């Protein structure tokens, strides 16, 4: 991407979009465009198309999405499939109509079958049933992938699709009802430490294994792929290592400094038994993650503490 290229970051205030924006700014890109959801509702096609035709972007990072953890996905499946289908359909088509040079679509590794072999290879997509708890979100993301591939085939566009593993980082969602596992744990342990709660409940058995990628590493991968990848096939982004939920809880507990007990509530769902992505494709292109998990979590906890101070002012 040329330094003077006009770039739209959709979803710039979220976990992924804000990391992409930081990465672009750090590398000297200045012709950056972004809008809040109040300024531009990406679910409104007419407004999105008018915006794209007026701005004439060279590159688009489509990081805008409705996201959440097991609780939110289970409780609001209609919202997840509707909003995500609307957002991605509108942005992808508007990019075509306005002749955007290249677009990067952010998916998720929840697109893979619940019981797919591990680690998850890109070719496992659509080979078996999905995890039911986030099926609506996954189907929307699969539709976005297919839409990018279809536009590439029919119209000769340059749309690439990136599948990141579980993410964490600054600007994450720490709401206990709608957040993912890592930020939810961090907030639980922090609040339990403040009021000296004797124990903290962790959902499930603690045995499922998950992989965690810092959002800044994902942003670095996205910029790398914009420069080095042109294929229609999806690309996994991860670290190539996983950790059990119990091990994650103990790691966050230590970083936060909570001294109480952990209680695993086995009446709550575990979700997919294991989710580790095969990163050989992006590694073959010349990219790998650089943030160790413990260092990354410490970084996020410091950001969380600072954000709590800001909120209290």
The reply, when asked if residue 218 is annotated as ligand binding, is: no
Mean pLDDT by 10-residue block, N- to C-terminus, for the chain (313 residues)? 97 96 98 97 98 98 88 87 98 98 96 93 96 92 98 98 96 83 94 96 94 98 98 97 97 97 92 89 98 97 88 59
pLDDT of residue 70: 74
- Supply the residues annotated as catalytic: 137
The reply, when asked if residue 62 is annotated as ligand binding, is: no
The reply, when asked if residue 180 is annotated as ligand binding, is: yes
DSSP state of 9: E
Residue whose C-alpha is closest to residue 291's, from 210, 220, 190:
220
- How far CA 175 is from CA of 71, 72, 123, 185, 253, in Å, comes to 11, 10, 34, 10, 18
Is residue 24 a contact partner of residue 223, using CB atoms and an 8 Å limit? yes
DSSP string, 119-154: SB-GGGTTSSPPPGGGHHHHHHHHHHHHHHHHHHHH
Q: What is the pTM of this model?
A: 0.94
DSSP state of 204: S
Written as six digits, the tokens of 71 are 């609780």
The reply, when asked if residue 188 is annotated as ligand binding, is: yes
Written as six digits, the tokens of 20 are 């992409």
pLDDT of residue 67: 84
Distance CA 232, CA 156 (A): 11
Distance CA 57, CA 39 (A): 18
CATH superfamily, region 7-312:
NAD(P)-binding Rossmann-like Domain (3.40.50.720)
Is residue 21 a contact partner of residue 15, using CB atoms and an 8 Å limit? no
Q: Where are the domains of the chain?
A: 7-312
pLDDT of residue 245: 96
Residue 88 backbone dihedrals phi, psi, to 5 degrees: -70, -35
pLDDT of residue 268: 87
Q: In b/e form, how buried is each residue of 101-118, taking b as 16+ CB within 10 angstroms?
A: bbbbbbbbbbbbbbebeb
């Amino acid at each position: 991407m040329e330094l003077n290229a006009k770039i739209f970051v959709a979803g710039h205030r979220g976990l992924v979009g804000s990391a992409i924006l930081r990465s672009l700014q750090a590398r000297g890109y200045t012709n950056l465009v972004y809008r809040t959801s109040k300024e531009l509702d990406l679910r409104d096609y007419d407004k999105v198309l008018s915006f794209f035709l007026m701005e004439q972007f060279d590159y688009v990072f489509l990081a805008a999405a409705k996201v959440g953890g097991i609780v939110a996905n289970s409780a609001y499946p209609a919202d997840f499939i509707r909003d995500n289908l609307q957002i991605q359909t509108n942005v992808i088509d508007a990019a075509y109509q306005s002749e955007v040079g290249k677009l990067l679509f952010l998916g998720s590794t929840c697109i893979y079958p619940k019981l797919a072999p591990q680690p998850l290879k890109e070719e496992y997509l659509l080979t078996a049933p999905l995890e039911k708890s986030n099926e609506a979100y996954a189907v929307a993301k699969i539709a976005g992938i297919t839409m990018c591939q279809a536009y590439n085939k029919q119209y000769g566009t340059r749309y690439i699709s990136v599948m990141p593993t579980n993410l964490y980082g600054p600007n994450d969602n720490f709401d206990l009802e709608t957040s993912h596992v890592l930020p939810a744990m961090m907030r639980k342990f922090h609040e339990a430490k403040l009021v000296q709660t004797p124990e903290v409940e962790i959902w499930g058995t603690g045995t499922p294994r998950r992989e965690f990628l810092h959002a800044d590493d994902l942003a670095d991968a996205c910029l790398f792929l914009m420069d080095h990848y042109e294929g229609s096939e999806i690309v996994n982004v991860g670290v190539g290592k996983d950790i059990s939920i119990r091990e994650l809880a103990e790691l966050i507990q230590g970083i936060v400094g909570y001294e109480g007990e952990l209680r695993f509530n086995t009446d709550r769902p575990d979700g997919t038994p294991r989710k580790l992505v095969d990163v050989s494709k992006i590694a073959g292109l010349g990219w790998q993650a650089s943030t160790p998990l413990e260092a990354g979590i410490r970084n996020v906890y410091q950001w969380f503490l600072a954000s709590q101070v800001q909120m209290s002012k």
